[in-house]
Structure 1
């Protein structure tokens, strides 16, 4: 486990959600699990830029925060599936709202991001 360089700050809802959802792939993982992609290999195919190790770490953190549940089937080879908990399902409307905002401002956001990357930032 990594040691924190910055102390926890859990003074408001934004701090809390940032702590729970911090991680490049967590929002996508929640969204894809909600859409029915339950197996780690399916999630890897949906997010090919992420390494399997990083996805496993972030899935474990989502499980620790009680947003997803992992079910292990007793068979050979082992089969693992992830499901949203009832608590995790409460995040889906929030994620959908963020996605809609991104869609509404897609051109502006893309131009700003590309401009920033061209300036070497």
Structure 2
């Protein structure tokens, strides 16, 4: 097998369907899916770290508390809870620590996803690498 780096071995990940990025190089994708041929479209993107605190944070929890209290108690809960910026920061720090300890992220968000039209040159490079 040819051990020279392939031109697309640059940290991007490759996908057959644009959703499941499981190939480190185009060559890996072509090796895995032998039925791909010149003219087929595949996808390539850059993995980016997931930031779990964008899914839940102190502000969203306080808002949910407020909404549930108003739904349950009506106008009596109109101005509840009254949480200052310091308390929100405290809860954000707690959530960040808790998520880091109990919810390790083992996946990536894919960014800069583009289509790639497989060329004859791509096919030829893969065949020559197989030796």
Q: TM-score, normalised by structure 1?
A: 0.25
Q: Which has the higher strand share?
A: 2
Q: Which has the higher contact order (CA 8 A, sep 6+)?
A: 2
Q: TM-score, normalised by structure 2?
A: 0.24
